[in-house]
Each structure stands twice: as C-alpha cells, then as structure tokens.
Structure 1
Amino acid sequence: MSDYRDLNRANWDEHAPLHAASPDYAFERFRTDPSFLSDVVRFDLPRLGDIRGLRGVHLQCHLGTDTVSLARLGATMTGLDFSPAALKSARELAEQIGAAVDFVEADVYDAVEALGGERFDLVFTGIGALCWLPSIERWARTVAGLLRPGGRLFLREDHPMAATLDETQTDRFVIGYPYFETPEPMVFNDAGTYVETEREAPAMTTHEWNHGLGEIVSALLDAGLVLTGLVEHDCAAWARLPDRMVRGEDGEYRLREHGERIPFTFTLQARKP
C-alpha cells in the first residue's frame, strides 16, 4: 500500500471519533428528527432532484451523514470509505436511526472491485474528497466503471481556485498552492480540524493534491461520460478563509466582502451513455 494512503488513513482514523462527537456533524439531530438532512445534501437538493428508487453509492463517505441523508430521500445507498474508524461511526448512526445503508471499507480506486461494475444509478461525491487523490483520471475511470448505462455522477466539491488560496493572508487573496494536479503531493502537518471538537485534533501529516476544473471535466469526458451540468458557487460548507468568511442560515460560509471574486465550491453532473 502506498505511503499517502497510510498517512491519510491514519489522519482520518484519528479525526473520525472527534468528528462524530462534533455538533457540526449533528448526530443528535439525525437521531431525534427523522426528516433531518445534512447541510451538504440540503444545499444540493435543487440540483439533485428526485432520487427515490435509485441505487446510489457515496464515495469517500466519511461518517456517512450525507449517505444516510440520501437514503432518507429514497435512494438505496452504499457508502464507501477507507477509514475503519469513520465507518464504525457511520454504521452506528445508520443503525440508531434505522437507515438501511450498506457501508463498505475500501479505497476509492478499488471501488469497482469492492462493489461490482455498472451497478449504480447514482455516484455521489461530496465536499472535501478529491483533494486526497493523486490521479483525477483514475478517479474518473472508477466513476465510469461504477455507473450503469444511463446512470449519473453528482459531484459538489471545493473549487480548485479556492484551494490555491493561502489562508494565512487576511488582507488580500494570495495564491499559495498549486491549481493543477502535480506528481508530488502537497504535504501538511496541521493540528486542528474543520469542525468544532471537544478537544483539539493532534497534528497529523497528510498528502493532498489539487485538480484543476478543466482537468476534472476532461477526465470525465475521457472516461466516456457526458457533462450535463456545471455550476460554480460563492459559498463553501466550511470556512476555508476563517477570518474572512461568515456562516449563513443555510449553513454555508461566504466572504464578508467581495463575494463575487472567488468561487468556493462547484456542482458538476455527468451521465454515462
């Protein structure tokens, strides 16, 4: 197993229990309110449409809050992640709320082997997933391999332009990280995490990559998919620039000023002919 997977899995295994206890992941709301959906899926609803009766897979599902939200909307869902600690929390939540979701432990690149090819009507990928993958082309081939003919990909992800920003600069937008995919990873060793936790998360070494928007689109086209939608958003599910962003009533973070200057997330949809 390659080094980046070992390092990144250790990071997610360490963070998963902290995230599961965080109010930002809202496990208690899921337990007490049968209609509750994650902030991410609520934001996605206008573009996601009616998914009742679809067989779906959520790649890199982490704690499964988006996965069980999609199940509450009527899809038959499978969640896939490589972190056993994250899947432990995901399975416990699904059992507690009576969500019939199957959670499978596997790396995303091994998804076709783990789940079977051309089985799914919907491949869903949410915020903060693609940055952990070194090859966007391999990811696109995996998505195409999972989808049945006529099935669709639904992706909302951090925008690669926003991912280039140096978050330590508080008075201007400064490019501090690559926009395009690079052979070597960006290496981070940061304490803390993106949600409120009962104790500070320890510093963990991670390997990450950015992928340009054109690279993502081209990889999907090369894998045989047909692009059906692409929307850029002025908001994000987390505060990428914490000193400059505020959270709105919809749970999304936006710049206090000049929100028109930077796209923070995007939604992409594609179909397999």
Structure 2
Amino acid sequence: MPNDYVAANMRNWDERVADHLVAYGAEAFADDPAALTARVEAELLAPFVPGGSFEGVTMLHQQCHIGLDTISFARRGADIVGTDLSGAAIAAARALAARAGTPNATFLQSANEDVPDAVGRRFDVVFTSVGVLVWLSDLDAWAQSIARLLAPGGVFLVYDGHPMMAAMEDGRDDGLLVVGEPYFATGEPRRFDDGATYASENRMENGVTYQWPHDLSEILTAVRGAGLSIEAFGEHRSIPWKALPGLVPGDDGWVPPEGSPDLPLMFSLIARGPGRGETRG
C-alpha cells in the first residue's frame, strides 16, 4: 500500500480513538463482565469451532480498532490477539483489556501483511469485520497473510459491508437508494475529506482518508488464490450502522425502508485453511 495513503489513514484513525471511546461507551463496556459485542461474528463462527464454543480456541482479530470485539471473544473464553495499524487504537485496546480483566486478550500494532512475522504463531481462527476491506489496497497480500496465520484446518471469517452497498450514493437526502459509485475494483483509491467520523458529528483535523472499492469476485478470488477453501458465504439484508441516509432502524440493524428494493448490505465469508497433512496451494 502506498506510504502516503497509509500515513493519511493512520493519522485519521489515530484521531478517531478518543471520540470512539466515548461514542462506544468503551469504559462501561470494560467494566461490565457480561457485556459482549461481535454477536453476529460469533454466530457465524460457532458452527465451525468444536462444540460451538470458543473456550480455549486461539484467535487472531485483524483490524481490531479499540478492541471491544477482541475483548468480547476473550470473555467467551478465547485466547485472542488483536492487531491494528493505529498505535493509538492499540494503546486504547490494551488499557481497556486491563480494565476489563481479560489477560487472554493481547494486542499488537501491525499492518496486516506484517502480522504473520510479528506474532510468529498460527491460530485456530482468524477474523476481521465491519468496515475493513475498503482500507486495503492489495487483497492478494491480505489473503496470503491470513493463510500464513491459520493453523492446519483453521477457520477464517470476514464479515463486512457488501460491495453493492458501497456502490450506492451516500449523500442523498431524498431517501432513494441509487447506484452512484464504482462497484468493480478500480485499483485506485477514492479520496474522502469530510472530516467526520461515523460514530459522532465531531470534526477531525486529519479528515483525509483513502479507500479502495473491492467487488465480490476480487474478494473471493483473493481468498481462493491464497489456498483457502470457501465453506460458507452469505449476503445480509441489515447492517450494523447507518451506512446510507435512506436506511431505517430494523429488528437487527439498519435496513432499507418499506417499499424500497431489497439490497445486500453486508456479506460474510467463511474459509478454511488446508488440514493436517495437506499443503497450501
């Protein structure tokens, strides 16, 4: 990924941390031992871990941000490592894990492609979720790093915004859902400079970010090309945040309003690394 794009995105995500700690109620979450996030991720992964339990499962959470989902899996019994490019986010995650009393959640600042060498071990489960792939320029390098992180027969989950959702115009005020952005990967990033974080109306000094569109075929091809076998794929009608102005609250997230065309807003993909005795393709 070009260094100037990385530097701009890192400055932006470093600045978001203080705001997100408040917007997410992070301290209250850490103080409540029963609090759990990543409900959908846990439901998607449960059928692929022994007995549907995360107790004693080794996990790696890529792009973990301030670590609430990471801590949630630690509370479910996993031995989990969270990684993120933002040093401010990792510092916040470590503080929250200490406050929560979850020593089985540890954190490491690292770019995705550097994580395998940085951690020096493999995991039963690797996952990443919600607003992650648009920050990556090279999905082949991303998928190959996942393959290196998985133990033999290990499971990978990505749960993220659907590329079709990302192609919709997000600045409309008429409630319509209209395609207005590239669906297919362009190879070039889109530049944003609105200065706002999705979690609040606060304005940031480091408002410029760069994001890359990725179509489904690019995502699937990268995963398969890294030697992983796709075991499940889903398209979902709700999304955890108000990604488009026309969406309305539903029973399980934000959904298109009644009478609007149905639209895939999220997708999930489960893949598995080669089993014991197999070799990576």
Question: Could you tell me the TM-score, scaled by structure 1's length?
Answer: 0.92
Note if contact 1:187-1:206 (Cα within 8 Å) is conserved in structure 2: yes
Match of 2:45 among 36, 45, 48: 48
Aligned pairs for 1:244-255 (under 5 A) are 244-248=246-250, 250=252, 252-255=253-256
Alpha-carbon distance between aligned partners in 1 of 2:273 and 2:127, rounded to the nearest angstrom: 14
Q: Shift of residue 173 of structure 1?
A: 2.5
Alpha-carbon distance between aligned partners in 1 of 2:260 and 2:76, rounded to the nearest angstrom: 31
The letter of the residue matching 1:34 is P
Q: Shift of residue 249 of structure 1?
A: 5.0
Alpha-carbon distance between aligned partners in 2 of 1:104 and 1:239, rounded to the nearest angstrom: 30
Match of 2:183 among 176, 179, 182: 179
Range that drifts further, 68-77 or 26-35: 26-35
- Report what 2:193 is aligned to: 189
Alpha-carbon distance between aligned partners in 1 of 2:240 and 2:149, rounded to the nearest angstrom: 26
Alpha-carbon distance between aligned partners in 2 of 1:80 and 1:203, rounded to the nearest angstrom: 22
Note if contact 1:166-1:175 (Cα within 8 Å) is conserved in structure 2: yes
C-alpha offsets along residues 17-73 of structure 1, whole Å, 9 cap, x if unaligned? 111111xx23143233211111xx112332221222111110011010111111111
Note if contact 1:192-1:202 (Cα within 8 Å) is conserved in structure 2: no
Q: Shift of residue 259 of structure 1?
A: 6.1
The letter of the residue matching 2:256 is L
C-alpha offsets along residues 166-202 of structure 1, whole Å, 9 cap, x if unaligned? 11223433222222222211111112111136x4334
Question: Could you tell me the TM-score, scaled by structure 2's length?
Answer: 0.89
Note if contact 1:140-1:223 (Cα within 8 Å) is conserved in structure 2: yes
CA RMSD of aligned residues (A): 1.7
- Report what 2:49 is aligned to: none
Aligned pairs for 1:100-119 (under 5 A) are 100=103, 101-116=105-120, 119=122
- Report what 1:257 is aligned to: 258
- Report what 1:159 is aligned to: 162
Note if contact 2:73-2:80 (Cα within 8 Å) is conserved in structure 1: yes
- Report what 2:94 is aligned to: 91
Alpha-carbon distance between aligned partners in 1 of 2:147 and 2:111, rounded to the nearest angstrom: 16
Note if contact 1:132-1:209 (Cα within 8 Å) is conserved in structure 2: yes
- Report what 1:71 is aligned to: 74
Alpha-carbon distance between aligned partners in 2 of 1:103 and 1:223, rounded to the nearest angstrom: 25
Gaps of 5+ in 1: none
Asked if residue 224 in structure 1 is aligned to residue 227 in structure 2, the reply is: yes
SS in 2 for 1:150: strand
Alpha-carbon distance between aligned partners in 1 of 2:162 and 2:192, rounded to the nearest angstrom: 19
Note if contact 2:195-2:208 (Cα within 8 Å) is conserved in structure 1: no
Alpha-carbon distance between aligned partners in 1 of 2:7 and 2:243, rounded to the nearest angstrom: 25
Aligned length: 265
- Report what 1:168 is aligned to: 171
The letter of the residue matching 1:5 is V
Alpha-carbon distance between aligned partners in 2 of 1:9 and 1:132, rounded to the nearest angstrom: 10
Alpha-carbon distance between aligned partners in 2 of 1:247 and 1:34, rounded to the nearest angstrom: 28
- Report what 1:236 is aligned to: 239
- Report what 2:278 is aligned to: none
Q: Shift of residue 268 of structure 1?
A: 0.7
The letter of the residue matching 2:255 is R
Alpha-carbon distance between aligned partners in 2 of 1:260 and 1:143, rounded to the nearest angstrom: 35
SS in 2 for 1:187: strand
